[in-house]
Amino acid sequence: MSTQTHKEAKKVTTHVLQEMKIRGEKISMLTAYDYSMAKIFDAAKIDVLLVGDSASNVMHGHQTTLPITLDEMISHAASVIKAVDRALVVVDLPFGSYQGNSKAALNSSIRIMKEAEAHAVKLEGGEEVVESVKRILTAGIPVMGHLGLTPQSIYKFGTYEVRAKENAEAAKLINDARLLEQAGCFALVLEKIPAALAKQVAESVKIPIIGIGAGPHVDGQVLVSHDMLGINKDFSPKFLRRYLNLYDEIQKAVEHYVADVKSSDFPNEKEQY
């Protein structure tokens, strides 16, 4: 058995994540959508980069995650992959590329793996996507599940409020987690559910559970990078910790630049040929 810790591991794989859960070592995950950010995140030793369909909101300016296309996701994923030496890169299957059709799920996943050279795919849903998970796995493609608040179903839920507060929905979520594990998912994201329920799920399955707004008793945490870096000022859910206020910092820098150009302060004598 290897005694190598994940910090020494040259590349984070799905097996490394499994070993981390067994050791009790927390998994760090962030979203990334482009080459330059992904390069910084990988240098900072993030374990997993998610090319999330939140790109629909933060990169394309849509109100929901529904409009982003498979071609757009592949383009984001291909630029992230080029930047990464160490992190595991997981790519969201976008809305409409897998629902209700396991053959479409397989074909979309193959495109992501072949055209972007990604390491794994993620899809939203429980029992209803089990057949798709199994079919994607027949091609040797690792699959991450996503339960709780699943933004691709926003028009079914009607709100972005905390999910599974009632017993029936909590019981379904636990059952869905078990079904996804049995189907072969290597990990699950749990979004915006009560911390006690997330703990129960993390204890009842062997695969790593990565939480977002799901409390501390899970195997890892994920945040949308634009939110934690403060690029996005309009989104402030309770679960979010902001590590920077990049919106303000960038605005200040650009105002400074505009003023320097207007006053002919830039470029100075040293900044010319």
The stretch near ligand KIV (CB under 6 A) out of 9-17, 47-55, 135-143, 160-168 is 47-55
Comparison of 2 and 38: residue with beta carbon closer to ligand KIV: 38
Q: Compute and round to an integer the Cα radius of gyration of the chain.
A: 20
Distance from C-alpha of 181 to C-alpha of 173, rounded to nearest angstrom: 12
Tell me: does residue 27 bind ligand KIV (CB under 6 A). Answer: no
For residue 166, indicate whether it is catalytic.
no
List, in sequence order, every residue forming a beta bridge with 148; answer none if it has no partner: 191
Quick one: 141 or 257, whose CB is closer to ligand KIV? 141
Q: Which of 12, 20, 27, 53 binds ligand KIV (CB under 6 A)?
A: 53
Nearest distance, CB of residue 257 and ligand KIV, angstroms: 31
Nearer to ligand KIV, 16 or 50 (CB): 50
31 lies in the binding site for ligand KIV (CB under 6 A): yes
Catalytic residue, chosen from 124, 127, 128, 191, is: 191
Contact string 177-196 vs ligand KIV (x = CB under 6 A): ------------x-x-----
Q: Which of 68, 177, 212, 229 binds ligand KIV (CB under 6 A)?
A: 212
Which of 180, 189, 182 minimizes the C-alpha distance to 208?
Answer: 189
Which CB sits closer to ligand KIV, 71 or 260? 71
Q: How many of the chain's residues bind ligand KIV (CB under 6 A)? A: 12
Give least dist CB 57 to ligand KIV, A.
Answer: 8
Q: Is 152 in the site for ligand KIV (CB under 6 A)?
A: no
Q: Rounded to whole angstroms, how far apart are CA atoms 60 and 262?
A: 31
Cα–Cα dist 223/6, whole Å: 20
Greatest pairwise CA separation for the chain in angstroms = 71
Binding residues for ligand KIV (CB under 6 A): 31, 50, 52-54, 92, 146, 189, 191, 212, 222, 224
Known catalytic residues are: 191
